[in-house]
Amino acid sequence: MGIAAPVVKSNANNSWARIPSRHIYYYRSSQHNDRWILSFAFIFESSDPVQFAYCIPYTYGQMQSWLNELEARKYTFFHRDLLIHTVQKRRVDLITIDGSSDTFQGSKKMIFLTARVHPGESPSSHVMHGIIEFLVSKDDRAQKLRKVYCFKIIPMLNPDGVYLGNYRCSLMGHDLNRMWRSPSEWAHPSIYAVKSLLTQYDNNPQAQTVIYVDLHAHSQKPNCFLYGNVSMTALWLPQLLSELSEDYSLEFTQFNTDVEKAGTGRRTMGELLSCLCYTLEVSFFSYRHVDSSGNGIQHCTPYLQYKYEALGEAFCRALLNFYEADCGIREILLERPFKTFLPARAQKSLKKQARKMIQTVMMK
């Protein structure tokens, strides 16, 4: 996982910082049934309060304040709507970013993004923050993105879980990312509403959904990477993102239809929608990258807030390059054959499908 470093913030330093790796100890403890224990040393230099966290926090209140600020900027292309209330009556916001006067004018292509279905995965919120801030910016590429795509964004799918400090579940104790197949309007209102909205867009001939991405954080693997469903075109976005971001890992990128992932947003909506569906994962802790010396030496760098937000910007730039490739004005050179991104059982399944297709063609 790289450097699994908690974060710390004090009055003297008002931003979150990683605890240095030399102060971190990771060991098996006989006093805890031989489980792994993470401990760290810290020197308190004053009596002022000090905060520690597993990863850089991003709260529900923080998001609401930021969305209020975005609304106050009076962008003509930015719209904030209430999609639904949670069980505890918190807002599930729907953000629309679209540079055209009519959202679905001329069958405009749509990108749909969601984050924070697992409340403990705060890095996904920082990446989403970077995405939205770039999309509303004056950057020429952001302006072009607003012209060619309509963005529909749910920045926080599980506000109750975030507010209550849960790690993975909702108020009702459910993992909402396993409820997509049959969500309850009462117990899983955000999933129910988002699934209904995506299905509605998919059935609208004027709303061509191109890509759906659900943002997550990963506790065991470093870097950032995409999980996708089995599709050749699905490899474009990972390749383009790897060209723009030093922390993107093609090594961890994978396309699968594993049974244990059934009920997730990616799998369920991938079966229902006529678009590419992904899960974007980013490490809670750090990323490995090769330095610029040309010696092939790998370094492990801790993720900080600015780097998560920079990933959001890189993701947007990759979407613009995807649009150009889709229009035939950009060539994509794939570094690896598609089958190498598939787990062994998926490769076998793909071979069986290919044999059946060949037999069908020969019979005709």
Give CA torsion, residues 40, 44, 45, 46, to 10 deg.
160
18 and 93 both lie in a single domain = no
Same domain, 84 and 49: no
pLDDT, the chain, mean:
90
pLDDT score, position 333: 84
Q: Which amino acid is at 185?
A: E
Q: Is 349 inside any structural domain?
A: no
Alpha carbon 207 to its chain centroid, in Å, reads 22
> Which of 53, 74, 90 lies at the terminal end of a domain, its last residue?
53
Q: Are residues 280 and 296 in the same domain?
A: yes
Nearest-angstrom CA–CA distance, 163 and 153: 20
Residues 42 and 79 in one domain: no
- Domain annotation covers residue 361: no
Low pLDDT (below 70) residues in the chain: 1-2, 101-107, 232, 257-258, 292-294, 296, 338, 344-364
Looking at the domain assignment, is residue 173 inside a domain? yes
Do residue 224 and residue 140 come from a single domain?
yes
Whether residue 348 lies inside any domain: the answer is no
* Position 354 in a domain: no
pLDDT computed for residue 359 by the predictor: 54
For residue 218, which phi and psi values (nearest 5 degrees)? -120, 130
The rounded distance, in Å, linking the Cα atoms of 229 and 278 is 7
User: Are 182 and 223 in the same domain?
Assistant: yes
Instruction: Give the CATH number for residue 330.
Output: 3.40.630.10
Q: Which is catalytic among the residues 281, 324, 331, 335? A: 281
Query: Do 12 and 124 have their domain in common?
Result: no
The total of structural domains in the chain comes to 2
Domain shared by 234 and 148, yes or no: yes
Q: Can you give the pLDDT at residue 336? A: 73
Residue 253 lies inside a defined structural domain of this protein: yes
Question: How many C-beta neighbours within 10 Å does residue 250 have?
Answer: 19
Q: Which domain covers residue 153, as residue numbers? A: 60-338
260 is an active site residue: no
Q: Are 95 and 80 in contact (CB under 8 A)?
A: yes
The answer to whether residues 179 and 43 belong to one domain is no
If asked whether residues 252 and 307 sit together in one domain, one would say yes
Q: Is residue 241 one of the residues assigned to a domain?
A: yes
Q: Are residues 47 and 159 in the same domain?
A: no
Residue 311 falls inside a structural domain: yes
247 and 179 in a single domain? The answer is yes
